[in-house]
Amino acid sequence: MHYALRILAGATTLCAAAAAAGIQPTIHPTSVCQSIARKISSHSEVFYSGSPNYVAAMSHFDSASSQQAACAVEAGTPVDVGFTLRTVGSSCVPFAVKGGGHATNPGFSSTTGVHISLARFNTTTYDASYPNTANGAVTIGAGLTWGQVYTVLDPLGVIVVGGRDHSVGVAGFVLGGGYGYHSNQYGLAADTVLSFELVLPNGTVRNITEKSDADLFWALKGGGNNFGIVTSFVVRAFPQGQVWGGSVVQAPGQQEAVGAALDQFDSVTDPRAAAVGNFIVKNASTLLTSVTLFYDGPTPPPGIFDAFLALPTLQSTVKTRSFLDLVLGNAGLPTGYRGASGMVAYTANTPTFINATINEVTSLGVSLAINTSAAAVYYALEPFQKGYMKNSTGAYPPPAARAGSPMPMAVAFEWSDAKDDAYLRKELADSVARLQAVAVSDQVVAGQSSVALPRYSNYALAPTPLEEFYGAEGLARLVKIAQRVDPLRVMALAGGWKFQTHR
């Protein structure tokens, strides 16, 4: 068996063919690690359990998203990433690739096989005269978090469309779409990409642009980890001065008023303005509301945020400051819990939808804590303005959705005990389905395509049918591109939203 597999592997035959012939991969991941360690260049290194580099590679925002790999390959060059990918592919060994480790679905960026760490792709470089751009472009290593990127850009007076929490990774965020504070102005992060440095599943390194490969360039804007491993992104830069914003926590009992303020905010058309409304129950206590407010300028014009600012307030961090300071000051969700996230696509903060949300968070926040280790439930409404997706050109969002400007509500549960995993994931799925039904009946115009409210892969709970992200046509195109770029289905050995299986 072992011998036969090696022959198949040597001929780079499909893992699927091996499986079909009844041959299970018998090469142990550790021996694959050792073989990689012997052959990679001096720019790269393989780490095993116990070393700090290994520990960093395994770590995730949600503890349930981590597994212990046989080793962490810290590749230092795209060529070494390619060698590693070819080796795991021909050995049919499961592997993982991780950016910032914020995936909440287990196994999406973790493995018990070979972990490919991109920690050494850690530079952020601004080129003010990048061709065909108004303000230049920034090249960002795939091992970075947004906080690290903003730290480099802050003194340069430029910004890119990126994450709202500093600890979120660049790579997974961009490859799924990427909603940021600047999305009303400049769209999703994926739509600002000019070039992806991509290690193809066969180990070849290519820069993928609109010109070099329009299909693959389209697919990488939302299609995730199905086409290879991205080692760096070139994205459009935009000018950045002082901003106004922060987070405001309301006095208890203001949930309906916060909902009304969000409803009113739907009519704001100044693209420099953004807000997020949070409805939270922690430790089965009373409903907590907070809003994150953002204006891309030192002072917002009067009117825009008045309804939020008029509410009785417990605490506010709103002030004029740098964008970096705003992001580093975001409290965000606590890390270290087990967790899951899901999402609801909706188009307006209507009283009906807000009311349903308040009912969900209130009842689940209390009931789940009675007999599970649930510590908190979060429902975050993320309003965006009409037309913010009008320039989108990638796999996500699908064309049928762009005009309607759907927006995401992120739902997250956090808990501490692994025995509650299945039950709480099911409760989250049910809650999201109930709210999605409210959004559809409240907001979808009769005759409108169902992808008018597409799910967002970076927030969605697995399993979600992939048509719900891309539409049926988009999915068919993605599958074709995956078949062309990855005929041996190497990327199917990694977790994530998959266009091909390895069997």
Ligand X SMILES: Cc1cc2nc3c(=O)[nH]c(=O)nc-3n(C[C@H](O)[C@H](O)[C@H](O)COP(=O)(O)OP(=O)(O)OC[C@H]3O[C@@H](n4cnc5c(N)ncnc54)[C@H](O)[C@@H]3O)c2cc1C
Q: Transcribe 21-57 into DSSP letters.
A: TTPPP-S-HHHHHHHHHHHS-TT-EEE-TTSHHHHHH
Rounded to whole angstroms, the Cα distance separating 322 from 241 reads 7
Q: Of the candidates 83, 173, 413, 469, which one interacts with ligand X according to CB under 6 A?
A: 173
Closer of 100 and 259 to ligand X (Cβ): 100
Nearer to ligand X (CB atom), residue 103 or residue 438: 103
**Least distance between ligand X and beta carbon 376 (Å):** 12
Strand partners, 236: 137
The SS3 assignment for 273 reads strand
Q: 298 forms bridges with which residues in the sheet?
A: none
- CA pair distance 69, 95, nearest whole angstrom: 8
When asked if residue 478 is in the footprint of ligand X (CB under 6 A), the reply is: no
Stretch that binds ligand X, among 22-30, 225-233, 260-268, 355-363 (CB under 6 A): 225-233
Q: Determine which residue in the list 396, 493, 496, 502 makes contact with ligand X, applying CB under 6 A.
A: 496
- Closer Cβ to ligand NAG, 23 or 438, answer by number: 438
Residue 325 to residues 45, 120, 210, 298, Cα–Cα distance (Å): 35, 25, 34, 13
Identify the residue whose tokens are 């992806």. Answer: 196
Nearest Cα residue to 188 out of 494, 463, 482, 405:
405
Determine, following the binding rule CB under 6 A, whether residue 485 of this chain makes contact with ligand NAG. yes
Is 132 a binder of ligand NAG (CB under 6 A)?
no
Of the residues 75, 114, 171, 361, which one makes contact with ligand X according to CB under 6 A = 171
Say whether 256 sits in a helix, a strand or coil: helix
The phi, psi pair for 342, rounded to 5°, reads -150, 175
Among 86, 102, 182, 502, binds ligand X (CB under 6 A): 102
Q: What residues from 166 to 205 belong to the interface with ligand NAG (CB under 6 A)?
A: 185-187, 197, 200, 202, 204-205
Contact between 359 and ligand NAG per CB under 6 A: yes
Using CB under 6 A, which of 42, 283, 299, 501 touches ligand NAG?
Answer: 283
Provide the pairing of β-strand 71-74 with 114-117.
parallel
Q: Work out which of 117, 250, 436, 458 binds ligand X, going by CB under 6 A.
A: 458
Residues in contact with 222: Cβ distance below 8 Å, sequence separation at least 6, in sequence order: 175, 176, 177, 190, 394, 395, 396, 397, 457, 469, 470
From the list ligand NAG, ligand X, none, which binds 383 (C-beta under 5 to 8 Å, kind-based)? none
Q: 392, 466 in Cβ contact below 8 A?
A: no
Q: How many residues bind ligand NAG (CB under 6 A)?
A: 28
Q: Decide which of ligand NAG, ligand X, none touches 120; Cβ closer than 5 to 8 Å per partner kind.
A: ligand NAG
Considering beta carbons, is residue 312 or 351 the nearer one to ligand NAG? 351
Give the H/E segment covering residue 345.
strand 338-346
Q: Which of 142, 219, 318, 343 binds ligand X (CB under 6 A)?
A: 142
Footprint on this chain of ligand NAG (rule: CB under 6 A): 120, 122, 185-187, 197, 200, 202, 204-207, 282-283, 334, 351-352, 355, 359, 371-372, 375-376, 388, 391, 420, 423, 485
Q: Which residues bind ligand X (CB under 6 A)?
A: 61, 97-103, 108-109, 118, 142, 163-165, 168-169, 171-173, 175-176, 178-179, 224-225, 229-230, 332-333, 458-459, 494, 496
